[in-house]
Amino acid sequence: MGDYLKGKVAIVTGSGMGIGRAVAKALAAEGCKVVTNNRAPWDGVIPVDEEKFSKLSKEMQDWAMTEYAKYYGDAERTAQEIRDAGGEAVACFGDISDYEAAGKLTECAIKTYGKLDIVVNIASAFGFSPVQDMPKKMWDRVNTVKPTGHFYVIRQAVQHMIDQGWGRIVNCASPAWAGGNLRQCEYCAANAGVVGMTYGLAAELQEFGITANAFAPAAKTRASVDMEIHNVLEGDHSVISGNPISYDGTAAPETFANFIVWLCGEDAKDVTGQVFMTMGKFIGRYALPAVEGAMFADGDAWSLEEVTKKQASLFKKPEGPAFGRK
């Protein structure tokens, strides 16, 4: 056990499996006391879409069930693994897209450990669909977890951080926040919301000694198996380019979990309002969005003719003073 986060208390949403489990265990391995979370206890049965599964070959069905078994679990399993390794953890079940349920996470941290220092929001929902076929329920399900559920947790936790003058907020986005190669505009919207919220939190909370950052991971999880099944049934349906993401070539989230640990520690006190891509051994930092082309009307308002005449200047970086946020 390390002591990088000794004495700190963290909530990690979505830590029953996948990225959340890896991060929760990494935090605990450095002395942090962790409240683990997912929607509900797992009954040990791997849920599958029977209609879709019936269309798969027996070989593909066997592969999928073998892979799913590596990822499924719940918050109590993660907490027990932490305790077995000598750390401290308690599970708190609840769907963070419900405001009251989200608040119970903070209540659990305070009641169990007497304080709250860190919130790592990883809970997510996921789906693939061309926009013209997307069910309303898919949009609603994905966007009520991100960014809404993330906000619910932060809203009810942040006053404790303000009162103690120290805190760390880390939100899990996705490379999809900037658009991308997958047919999932609902997921792009949800993660863009996470990034925008994180930028706002960083500016607002900096005076209280609280940092807010986001990371956009590419990692092998249960959703990776879902994608493989989807691509088998739909061809290249999930991927606009026709080049599906390699399952075997995708790294596990444990490869970058310690970067999230670092963001939660004292060494990262001056790192805030940043978005990082984490993918196996690679960690990159996104540039802040900035205006890189501009045009100005000669009068008080644009005419269509003037727009047509000057529009080319929008598509090249203007010379002179830099535009955008510093």
- Domain limits, the chain: 9-285, 290-326
More confidently predicted of 300 and 47:
300
pLDDT band at residue 69, thresholds of 50, 70 and 90? Answer: confident
Structure tokens belonging to residue 102: 């989200």
Q: What is the 8-class DSSP label of residue 249?
A: T
More confidently predicted of 129 and 321:
129
CA distances from 33 to 3, 89, 255, 266, 321 (A): 11, 6, 21, 16, 48
Q: Residue 236: is its pLDDT beyond 60?
A: no
Beta bridge partners of 105: none
DSSP codes of every residue in 215-242: EEE---SHHHHHHHHHHHHHTTTTBTTS
Structure tokens belonging to residue 86: 């000598």
12, 247 contact by CB (below 8 A): no
pLDDT band at residue 250, thresholds of 50, 70 and 90? Answer: confident
- pTM value is 0.89
Mean pLDDT of 314-323: 58
Torsion angles phi and psi, residue 50, rounded to 5 = -60, -35
Structure tokens belonging to residue 6: 């000794």
Mean pLDDT of the chain: 91
Taking the C-alpha atoms of residue 59 and residue 55, their distance in angstroms, rounded to an integer, is 12
End-to-end, the C-alpha distance of the chain in Å comes to 40
pLDDT, tens digit, for every residue of 137-153? Answer: 999 999 999 999 999 99
pLDDT, tens digit, for every residue of 151-160? Answer: 999 999 999 9
Q: Residue 203: is its pLDDT beyond 80?
A: yes
Helix 150-164 × helix 185-205 angle, to 10°: 10
Q: What is the pLDDT of residue 52?
A: 84
Q: How many CB atoms lie within 10 A of CB 47?
A: 9
Cα angle 168-166-151, degrees, rounded to a multiple of 5? 45
CATH T-level assignment (fold) for domain 9-285: Rossmann fold (3.40.50)
230, 237 contact by CB (below 8 A): yes
